Amino acid sequence: MCLAIPGKILEAQENDGLRVGRVQFGGVVRQVSLDFVPEAAVGDYVMVHVGFAISKVDAVEAERTYQLLQEMGTLVDELNPGDDHPPK
């Protein structure tokens, strides 16, 4: 129930005082309330839970963490050359 999935805002508009957007999740596009993320704009990624965006994904933080994790993964590969864990 507490699942929230990341999606990309394709369109955002005001609708009767409420802010709604079309958000893309992989191949699926759904209407999502953007009321709780006034700072999120078209092109941003948001975490969506039961039809409501609950956060704008912090792209800078995400990139930084991912790079760190990836470097760590590479390091492990170099340390264990015999292991067969091809990247997906």
Partner 1 sequence: MKYLDEYRDERIARGLAEQVAAVTTKPWVLMEICGGQTHTLMRYGIDELLPRGLELVHGPGCPVCVTPLETIDKAIQLALRPDVILVSYGDMLRVPGSSSDLFRAKAQGADVRLAYSPTEAVKIARSNPDRQVVFLAIGFETTAPANAMAAWQAKREGLTNFSMLVSHVLVPPAIRALMVSESNRVQGFIAPGHVCTVMGCGEYEDLVRDFRVPIVVGGFEPVDLLEAILMLVKQLEAGEAKLENQYVRSVSYQGNVPAQQIMKEVFEVADQKWRGIGAIPRSGLRLREEFGNFDANRVFDLGEFTVEEPAECISAQVLQGLKKPTECPVFGMRCTPENPLGAPMVSSEGACAAYYQYRRHAVVS
Q: Would you tell me which residues interact with partner 1 (CB under 8 A)? A: 1-6, 8, 33, 35-38, 45, 47, 49-52, 54-55, 57-59, 61-63, 65-66, 69-70, 72-77, 83, 85-88
Q: Of 11 and 75, which has the nearer Cβ to partner 1?
A: 75
Least distance from C-beta 51 to partner 1, angstroms? 3
What's the helix, strand, coil split of the chain in %, to 5?
A: 25, 40, 35
Q: Of 29 and 57, which has the nearer Cβ to partner 1?
A: 57
Least distance from C-beta 72 to partner 1, angstroms? 5
CA atoms within 13 A on the CB side of 50: 2
Q: Of 41 and 72, which has the nearer Cβ to partner 1?
A: 72
- Amino acid code (one letter) for 57: V
Q: Which two tokens stand for residue 63?
A: 């990139």
Please provide the size of the chain in residues.
Answer: 88
Contact 12, 19 (CB under 8 A): yes
Q: Of 10 and 54, which has the nearer Cβ to partner 1?
A: 54
